[in-house]
Amino acid sequence: MNLVILNRYETSKFGTFNRLYTLSPNIFECFALELPWKGNQQNISCIPKDEYEVMFSYSPHFGRVYRVLNVPNRSNILIHSGNYGGDKSQGLISDTYGCILLGRKIGYLHNQKAILLSKFAISDFVKSLNEESFKLIINEVY
């Protein structure tokens, strides 16, 4: 099975910023963004660090995505495009309710830290894995 590593390296009110990379079948690397950790609460927290099986899927809203399976006490966790992962309780913008967003760069949009070139990152990620399933390992390296 293909292996994808997500290393969480920074968390703040702007979200949890990560590096994501594949080891096979093709080497791929990008940034990822999740919500801040809030005890795995649905719709406001990133998912727990762990190992997950992930399968290719299609979303009517996002198009080609990956679905993270068997996340404790959560459902519909996807890997999809988006720019913001901010804490809404602090008045920030978020494009996720717990999903993982991918991007090629980190920058600022509307004075909020964000990931950029997300649709390109998702497209390249899907191609690099040939739409195949994979094991996702989430680490915290703060």
* Closest CA relative to residue 115, chosen from 26, 25, 44, 16: 16
Tens digits of residue pLDDT in 45-60: 999 999 999 999 999 9
* Closest CA relative to residue 134, chosen from 49, 19, 41, 22: 22
- What is the Cα–Cα distance from 117 to 10, expressed in whole angstroms? 20
Q: Which residues contact 84 (CB under 8 A, 6 or more apart)?
A: 15, 33, 92, 93, 94, 95, 96, 109, 112, 114
What pLDDT is attached to residue 1?
A: 87
* Closest CA relative to residue 130, chosen from 52, 24, 20: 24
Percent of the chain at pLDDT exceeding 70 = 99
* Closest CA relative to residue 54, chosen from 80, 29, 73, 32: 80
pTM more than 0.85: yes
What pLDDT is attached to residue 111?
A: 96
- What is the Cα–Cα distance from 53 to 36, expressed in whole angstroms? 22
Tens digits of residue pLDDT in 88-125: 999 999 999 999 999 999 999 999 999 999 999 999 99
Question: Is 25 a residue whose pLDDT tops 90?
Answer: no
Here the tokens at position 130 are: 């040939």
Domains of the chain by residue range: 2-140
